[in-house]
Chains A and B, each alone.
Chain A
Amino acid sequence: QQKVQQSPESLIVPEGGMASLNCTSSDRNVDYFWWYRQHSGKSPKMLMSIFSNGEKEEGRFTVHLNKASLHTSLHIRDSQPSDSALYLCAASDNNRIFFGDGTQLVVKP
């Protein structure tokens, strides 16, 4: 069932730095991608979505999508300690929604 792969497993960045997270699907039926953020002890909450090729920016967060390679990436600039969380990539094949194992991000003050 592992249709979504994320890298790296964990990432440590200094406060104010740039964090870059990757996600690829092995299922050619996938056509929608989301990024969710899950703080420790909480449930996941959607951060950003991307359905078309290209780039989308919201504040300090930017997502890229290459539909040909089924690869999406999330970039967080000016990282803050409050960004420390598990970042989950999700993909939909227009029926089910699958999640990757996540990237654990730690932003050190």
Chain B
Amino acid sequence: DAGVTQTPRHEVAEKGQTIILKCEPVSGHNDLFWYRQTKIQGLELLSYFRSKSLMEDGGAFKDRFKAEMLNSSFSTLKIQPTEPKDSAVYLCASSWDNNERLFFGHGTKLSVL
């Protein structure tokens, strides 16, 4: 089942470190989303790509969060520098287009000490 693949599943970082999360979307999907999920804030949209072009750059998340999609089958989310408040589950999702259902990866659980 070639769904959305995210690595790593868990990441522990020290405050101030740089971390890179990876995502492989479903083959053929044109849209890719990065979300952050916490109990307090729920699911927050970080970035959105359509056919590899950045459509949404995260607003309030712009300063330390940078998502890239260098090819249609791979995306990264860099957090630099990390802060304890970044501790959350980071979810990557893809779809054929934005009017179709999203397929989510298992997520990366980030803990920043």
List residues of A whose CB falls within 8 A of some B CB: 1, 32, 34, 36, 42-46, 49, 51, 88, 90, 92, 94-102
In the complex, A98→B45 CA distance in Å?
Answer: 7
Interface size class of B (residues with CB under 8 A): 20 to 34
Q: Which residues of B contact A49 (CB under 8 A)?
A: 101
**Residues of B with Cβ closer than 8 Å to A?**
33, 35, 41-45, 48, 55-56, 59-60, 91, 98-99, 101-102, 104-107
Q: Note all chain A residues with C-beta closer than 8 A to B102.
A: 34, 36, 44, 46, 90, 97
Report Cα–Cα, A36/B93, bound state, in Å: 13
Give the top 7 A-B pairs by smallest Cβ distance, nearest first: A101-B42, A43-B104, A99-B43, A46-B101, A96-B56, A44-B104, A92-B98
Which residues of chain A are near B45, meaning CB under 8 Å? Answer: 1, 96-99
Residues of A within 8 A of B99 (CB): 32, 51, 92, 94
The interface residues of chain B lying within 8 Å CB-to-CB of A98 are 45
Please give me the residue from chain B that is nearest to A102 by CB atom. Answer: B42
B43 contact set on A, CB distance < 8 A: 44, 88, 99, 101-102
18 A-B pairs (CB sep. < 8 Å): A1-B45, A1-B59, A43-B105, A44-B102, A44-B104, A51-B99, A90-B102, A92-B98, A94-B98, A95-B55, A96-B45, A96-B55, A96-B98, A97-B45, A97-B102, A99-B42, A100-B42, A101-B43
